[in-house]
Amino acid sequence: MAVTGLDITTRETVLDGRAFGSAGAYEKIAGIIHFAVDPSHGLHRAITDLALAQRRPDGRVEFWADFYLLQPADPARSNRRVLLDIPNRGRKVALGTFNSAVRVPDPSAPEDFGNGFLMRHGWTVAWCGWQPDVPRQDGLMALGAPVAKGATGRLRCEWRPNARVDVLPLADRYHIPHPAADLYDPEAALTVREHAGAPAVAVPRSAWRFRRREGWSFVPDPSHINLAGGFEPGKIYDLVYRSQDPPVVGLGLLAVRDTAAFLRGGLAQDGNPCAGRIERAYGFGVSQSGRFLRHFLYLGLNEDEAGRQVFDAVIPHVAGARRGEFNMRFGQPSLNAKESVGSVFPFTDDDQADPVTGQRDSLLGRLRERRTTPRIFTINTSAEYWRGDASLIHTDVEGHADVAPPADVRIYLFAGTQHTPGALPPPAADPNTGGRGLHPFNVVDYAPLLRAALVNLDRWTTDGVEPPASVFPRLADRTAAAAESISAVFGAIPEMRFPDRIERPMHLDFGASFEQGIVSELPPKVGAPFATFVSAVDADGNEVAGIRPVELLAPLGTFTGWNPRHPSQGAPGDLMSMMGSTLPFARTAAERAASCDPRPSIAERYPSRADYLRCVREAAEALVAARHALAEDVEAMVERAAQQWDLFHHGLTSNPA
Would 195 be classed as within a structural domain? yes
The answer to whether the CB of 1 falls within 8 A of the CB of 60 is no
pLDDT at 301: 98
Number of H helices, E strands in the chain: 13, 27
* Residues 378, 240 share a domain: no
The average pLDDT across 533-545 equals 99
Number of other CB atoms surrounding residue 186 within 10 Å: 7
Q: Where is the domain boundary, 244, 276, 299? A: 244
Work out whether the CA dihedral 566, 569, 575, 580 comes out positive or negative.
Answer: negative
**504-509-515-519 Cα dihedral, nearest 10 degrees:** -110
pLDDT digits (tens, 9 = 90+) for 597-643: 999 999 999 999 999 999 999 999 999 999 999 999 999 999 999 99
Can you tell me the distance from the alpha carbon of 622 to that of 459, in angstroms, rounded to the nearest whole number?
Answer: 20
Q: Which phi and psi angles does 470 have, rounded to 5°?
A: -60, 145
Can you tell me the distance from the alpha carbon of 514 to that of 518, in angstroms, rounded to the nearest whole number?
Answer: 5
Instruction: Report CA Rg, the chain.
Output: 25
Residue 653 scores a pLDDT above 70: no
Look up the domain containing 429 and give its range: 372-504+530-657
Average pLDDT, the chain: 97
* Region class of 416: left (phi > 0), else alpha (psi between -120 and 50), else beta: left
How many domains are contained in the chain?
2
Would 461 be classed as within a structural domain? yes
What is the bridge-based pairing of β-strands 409-414 and 375-381?
parallel
Question: What single DSSP character describes residue 75?
Answer: G
Q: 478-515: b or e for each residue (b if 16 or more CB lie within 10 Å)?
A: ebbbbbeebeebbeebeebebbeebbbbbbbebeeebe
Closest to 385 in 3D by CA, of 258, 545, 508, 511: 545
Residue 646 scores a pLDDT above 50: yes
Closest to 592 in 3D by CA, of 494, 495, 487: 494
User: Residue 118 contacts by C-beta under 8 Å, 6 or more apart in sequence?
Assistant: 83, 94, 95, 98, 99, 125
Residue 656 scores a pLDDT above 50: no
- Which pLDDT band holds residue 654 (cuts at 50, 70, 90)? very low
Q: Where is the domain boundary, 244, 274, 297? A: 244
Closest to 240 in 3D by CA, of 200, 279, 270, 274: 200
Question: What single DSSP character describes residue 70?
Answer: E
Can you tell me the distance from the alpha carbon of 420 to that of 445, in angstroms, rounded to the nearest whole number?
Answer: 8
* Residues 395, 543 share a domain: yes
Question: What single DSSP character describes residue 16?
Answer: G
Would 496 be classed as within a structural domain? yes
Residue 655 scores a pLDDT above 80: no
- Percentage, residues of the chain above pLDDT 90: 96
User: Residue 479 contacts by C-beta under 8 Å, 6 or more apart in sequence?
Assistant: 473, 535, 536, 544, 545
The average pLDDT across 183-204 equals 95
Residue 119 scores a pLDDT above 80: yes
User: Residue 156 contacts by C-beta under 8 Å, 6 or more apart in sequence?
Assistant: 238, 239, 240, 337, 340, 522, 523
Q: Where is the domain boundary, 244, 262, 281? A: 244
Would 118 be classed as within a structural domain? no
Would 336 be classed as within a structural domain? no
Would 250 be classed as within a structural domain? no
Would 251 be classed as within a structural domain? no
pLDDT at 242: 98
pLDDT digits (tens, 9 = 90+) for 212-262: 999 999 999 999 999 999 999 999 999 999 999 999 999 999 999 999 999
pLDDT digits (tens, 9 = 90+) for 505-531: 999 999 999 999 999 999 999 999 999
Would 82 be classed as within a structural domain? no
pLDDT at 206: 97
The full 3-state SS of 631-649, as one line of letters, equals: HHHHHHHHHHHHHHHHHHH
Can you tell me the distance from the alpha carbon of 211 to that of 209, in angstroms, rounded to the nearest whole number?
Answer: 6
* Residue 513 amino acid letter: S
Instruction: Please spell the DSSP secondary structure of 320-348, one letter per residue.
Output: TT---SSSSTT--TT---SSSGGGPSP-S
